[in-house]
Amino acid sequence: ELSARFEDAVKGLRGQAKISDTNVEDALKQVRRALLGADVSLEVVREFVEEVRQKAVGAEVVRGVTPDQKFVQVVHQQLVEVMGGDNAPMAEAEDSPTVVLMAGLQGAGKTTATAKLGLHLKDQGQRPLMVAADVYRPAAIDQLRTLGEQIGVDVFSLGDDVKPEEIAAAGLAKAREEGFDTLLVDTAGRLQIDTEMMEEMVRIRSAVEPDEVLLVVDSMIGQEAAELTRAFHDKVGITGSVLTKLDGDSRGGAALSIRKVSGQPIKFIGTGEKVEALQPFHPERMASRILGMGDVLTLVEKAQKEVELADVEKMQKKLQEASFDFSDFLQQMRLIKRMGSLGGLIKMMPGMNKLDDGMLKQGEQQLKRIEAMIGSMTADERNQPELLASQPSRRRRIAGGSGHSPADVDKVLADFQKMRGFMQQMSKGGGMPGMPGMPG
Ligand code: GDP
Ligand code: MG
């Protein structure tokens, strides 16, 4: 069971204070094994593991989250990112019909996927036309016809004596004439990648200039998905893919390979033999399927939110007591950075929507500078910011100690005073919901 194996994967990180170069090695080794077990190709696994290493080592681990949980989150997030983040919709031509070319090996599920897409589009109120351009297998045309009747979508065919590219072109002409919205061209595959198949695909592509070339991949093909994708993408050029037979045992690792090799999104997944068994591809869900770690992730997210809330509450209390000092300033800056966006902070602190944007949108560099300067302060200076305001010699010493100019120190001091002034004013005047004892 992959899920169990992956849990083993990160056990080594349990009880560690943070993720480091040394303790991450074992966990990475296990990730590598887990992904190979999920049928991700070796080259893709290698690259992926390096990316995870870079993101995991030194990653900030918030209170309430253990490094092993954090590690899982990094792996999951990287999986989602590599697989494209969000669902990618199907292309739509400016002038209809939108032309979709189905490509892939024999038995991958092209004809089935063509019908599934036909039904999907029809359900959306469109009028698709399916083209039977597989002239090699006698049953192929009948198969598409039968499916067409079943779902109530028209099928265009010229029998099996005409070249596939000519059938496709004639289908396109018909779709234009009769106002179909989408042309779905079903093609022939072979058992293996070969030159003839590729050349035929290129001829069909030239004949209809598709808006979308969808590579249909059987998810059970496993590690070979990378090689297959590379061949089709190099020779024909794909714009997306359909990953089929995910109702089976496969963990879906092929999704990672397809995306990484081609850079093109997986758009749909097939989850059964029936024509209804088609779903849009969601990177998030696939990442969870590959890892089988849903529960741990929820836990990490929850812990993260709680920590952020606790920090915000502490800050609010400080403001009330007007004891906001340089350490708080630094913490505030870190908090803002960690929450990623000001939007998140504003949501958590009602009444803060009038904050000076320019001041708060401090970049990473600014934060580093502030950290260095505060690091050069004495404890007294940190707790009593007035000391700095009144004594230029202290400011010069801090500038020297932190490797900055006195003007830089003045700037940070000004920012600090601005923020403190604003916050104190706000805590006196506005009042924040949920804070007992606040006036107003
Ligand atoms: P083609 O040669 O690429 O056109 O492949 P077909 O569409 O004829 O499909 C080959 C076989 O795979 C058929 O028996 C289909 O019913 C089956 N198939 C296609 N997609 C799926 C799927 O998502 N799940 C399952 N379980 N079977 C599928
Ligand atoms: Mg077929």
**At 109, phi and psi to the nearest 5?**
115, 25
Question: Locate tokens 């990490």: which residue?
Answer: 300
pLDDT of residue 29: 85
Q: Counting ligands in written order, which one lies closest to the CA of residue 279? A: 1
pLDDT of residue 348: 39
**Protein residue with its CA nearest to atom 2 in ligand 1:** 107
Using the atom order of ligand 1, give the atom closest to the CA of residue 271.
Answer: 23
Query: Ligand 1 — pocket residues by CB below 6 A?
Result: 104, 106-112, 189, 216, 244-245, 247, 270-273, 277
Residues around ligand 2, an ion, CB closer than 5 A = 110-111
The third-level CATH classification (topology) of the domain covering 321-429 is 434 Repressor (Amino-terminal Domain) (1.10.260)
Residue pLDDT, tens place only, 291-340? 765 445 555 555 556 666 666 667 667 666 667 788 777 776 666 555 54
pLDDT of residue 337: 59
Q: Separation of 79 CA from ligand 2 center, angstroms?
A: 31
Q: Separation of 165 CA from ligand 2 center, angstroms?
A: 16
pLDDT of residue 432: 39
pLDDT of residue 319: 63
Q: Separation of 112 CA from ligand 2 center, angstroms?
A: 7
pLDDT of residue 312: 65
ipTM of the complex: 0.99
Preceding peptide of 385 cis, ω within 30° = no
pLDDT of residue 353: 41
Considering the entire predicted model, what is its pTM?
0.68
* Residue 176 near residue 210, CB atoms below 8 Å: no
Using the atom order of ligand 1, give the atom closest to the CA of residue 143.
Answer: 8
* Low-confidence residues of the chain: pLDDT under 70: 1-17, 62-65, 292-313, 315-316, 318-322, 332-366, 422-440
Q: Separation of 268 CA from ligand 2 center, angstroms?
A: 17
Using the atom order of ligand 1, give the atom closest to the CA of residue 112.
Answer: 7
Contacts 24+ apart (CB under 8 A), 409-418: 409/373, 412/369, 412/370, 412/373, 413/385, 413/388, 413/389, 415/359, 415/362, 416/326, 416/329, 416/385, 417/385, 417/389, 418/356, 418/359
**Protein residue with its CA nearest to atom 27 in ligand 1:** 273
Largest CA distance in the chain: 94
Annotated binding residues: 104-111, 186-190, 244-247
91: tokens are: 């292309």
**At 362, phi and psi to the nearest 5?**
-75, 130
Using the atom order of ligand 1, give the atom closest to the CA of residue 272.
Answer: 24
Best residue among 106, 112, 197, 243 to mutate for probing ligand 1, ranked by most atoms within 8 Å of CB: 112
Q: Counting ligands in written order, which one lies closest to the CA of residue 112? A: 1
Three-state SS annotation for the chain:
CHHHHHHHHHHCCCCCCCCCHHHHHHHHHHHHHHHHHCCCCHHHHHHHHHHHHHHHCCCCCCCCCCHHHHHHHHHHHHHHHHCCCCCCCCCCCCCCCEEEEEECCCCCCHHHHHHHHHHHHHHCCCCEEEEEECCCCHHHHHHHHHHHHHHCCEEECECECCCHHHHHHHHHHHHHHHCCCEEEEEECCCCCCCHHHHHHHHHHHHHHCCCEEEEEEEHHHHHHHHHHHHHHHHHCCCCEEEEECCCCCCCCHHHHHHHHHHCCCEEEEECCCCCCCEEECCHHHHHHHHHCCHHHHHHHHHHHHHHHHHHHHHHHHHHHCCCCCHHHHHHHHHHHHHCCCHHHHHHHCCCCCCCCHHHHCCCHHHHHHHHHHHHCCCHHHHHCCHHHHHCHHHHHHHHHHHCCCHHHHHHHHHHHHHHHHHHHHHHHHCCCCCCCCCCC
Q: Where are the domains of the chain?
A: 2-86, 98-281, 321-429
Rounded CA gap, 337 and 13, in Å?
26
Q: Counting ligands in written order, which one lies closest to the CA of residue 115? A: 1
Q: Separation of 142 CA from ligand 1 center, angstroms?
A: 15
**Protein residue with its CA nearest to atom 12 in ligand 1:** 109
pLDDT of residue 117: 98
pLDDT of residue 327: 79
Q: Which residues of 108-137 are buried (b: 16+ CB within 10 A; e: fewer)?
A: bbbbbbbbbbbbbbbeeebbbbbbbbbbee
pLDDT of residue 186: 98
Domain 2-86 has CATH 1.20.120.140: yes
Q: Separation of 281 CA from ligand 2 center, angstroms?
A: 22
Q: Counting ligands in written order, which one lies closest to the CA of residue 271? A: 1
Rounded CA gap, 80 and 67, in Å?
20
Are 98-281 and 321-429 equal in CATH topology? no
- CA distances for 307 relative to 281, 310, 341, angstroms: 33, 5, 16
Q: Counting ligands in written order, which one lies closest to the CA of residue 110? A: 1
Q: 98-281 is classed in which CATH architecture?
A: 3-Layer(aba) Sandwich (3.40)
Residue pLDDT, tens place only, 381-409? 888 888 888 888 999 999 988 888 888 88
pLDDT of residue 154: 98
**Protein residue with its CA nearest to atom 26 in ligand 1:** 272
Q: Separation of 100 CA from ligand 2 center, angstroms?
A: 15
**Protein residue with its CA nearest to atom 16 in ligand 1:** 273
Best residue among 102, 135, 273 to mutate for probing ligand 1, ranked by most atoms within 8 Å of CB: 273
pLDDT of residue 104: 97
Q: Separation of 109 CA from ligand 2 center, angstroms?
A: 7
